[in-house]
Structure 1
Amino acid sequence: MFHLELVERCKANDRKAQLKLYRQYCDGMFCVAMRFLKNSDDAEDVLQESFIKAFQKIEQFSGEVTFGAWLKRIVVNKSIDFLKSKRERTVALDEGYMHVADDDNWDVDEGIDIGEIKKSIDSLSDKYKYVVQLFLVEGYDHNEIAEILNISETASRTRLVRGKGQLKELLKDLKYGTGS
């Protein structure tokens, strides 16, 4: 069955179609949530909340993007909301005045594995971690990141450059054995 037909059946509140759509996407979306939350119980909770929201708001799905991309955005937002509520603190930043040059050089030394990179990303402060993760791992552009995090595109670019700089330092420490 085609995804659009399945989505249309979900819009008609067809429970079998909802279950089928859930089964098609639950594993992939669980992985997305895990990349943010690092805890399977939390990821499972966020996954369930994301699907509930998706089915409640399915009328808003217009087909401009794939259903998977639409659902992934819900999972990413729910994951970030979960992390924010867990920390219960907000940092107000005004980075709109800064001009940042884009730097597309994301080369990493061969001796560093993906696990070390992910661990280093996790150790970044939230304002940089989310942008770096959304850009590098999830593949969002600055316009999308700005929308998701409710910041300006300039702030997204600034945080990416700063986060990248911190990430490079962390990875350099790993390479030369000065990290923990």
Structure 2
Amino acid sequence: MFQIDLVEQCKTNDRKAQVKLYRQYCNGMYCVAMRFLNDPNDAEDVLQEAFIKAFQKMHQFKGEVTFGSWLKRIVINKCIDFLKAKRENLVTLDEGYMHIEDETDWYVDDGISIEIVKEAITRLADTYRYVVQLFLVEGYDHKEISGILDITETACRTRLLRGKGQLKELLKKENYGTGS
């Protein structure tokens, strides 16, 4: 069965089609949730909530992007919402003082594994971690990230650059060495 047919059947609340679509995407979306949450139980909970929301909002899927991309955005938003709710103290960032720096002034040594970088990303402040993860790991561009996080593209670029700077310092502290 073609994916678009499956999606159309899900729009009519066809439970068998929903199960097929769930099985098709659950493993990949679980990996996305784990990259954000780093806890299997939290990832499973958020994943279930994301699928429920996706099935409830299925009528809003217009096919402008792939179903997987549409679902991934729901999963990411649910992960961010979960992390925000879990956090006790919110720190506001006055973006009026931010400025954009040169994006070409940073690289990671080829000897550093992706696992080490991903682990270091989890230690960034939330403000920077979300942007860095969405950009470097999930592959979203500044426009998409600004839409997901409801920030300006300028703030997105600045947070990415500052997040990369923090990431660079974390990797230096771990003696993995980065160049500037």
Q: TM-score, normalised by structure 2?
A: 0.92
Partner of 1:128: 128
Partner of 1:50: 50
Structure 2 unaligned blocks of 5 or more: none
Is 2:92 aligned against 1:92? yes
The answer on whether the counterparts of 2:112 and 2:176 sit within 8 Å (CA) in structure 1 is no
Partner of 2:163: 163
Distance 2:58 2:142 in 1: 25
Distance 1:176 1:117 in 2: 10
Which amino acid in the other structure matches residue 48 of structure 2?
Q
Partner of 1:116: 116
In structure 2, do the counterparts of structure 1 residues 102 and 89 end up closer, same or farther at CA, with 3 Å as the change threshold? same
The answer on whether the counterparts of 1:96 and 1:154 sit within 8 Å (CA) in structure 2 is no
In structure 2, do the counterparts of structure 1 residues 71 and 106 end up closer, same or farther at CA, with 3 Å as the change threshold? farther
Percent sequence identity over aligned pairs: 71
Instruction: Say which SS state the counterpart of residue 17 (structure 2) adopts.
Output: helix
Instruction: Say which SS state the counterpart of residue 108 (structure 2) adopts.
Output: coil
Instruction: List per-residue Cα deviations over 1:12-52 (Å, max 9, x = no partner).
Output: 11100000000000000000000000000000000000000
Structure 1 residues 13-52: aligned runs within 5 Å:
13-52=13-52
Distance 2:99 2:84 in 1: 27
RMSD: 1.6
How many residues were matched structurally? 177
Q: TM-score, normalised by structure 1?
A: 0.92
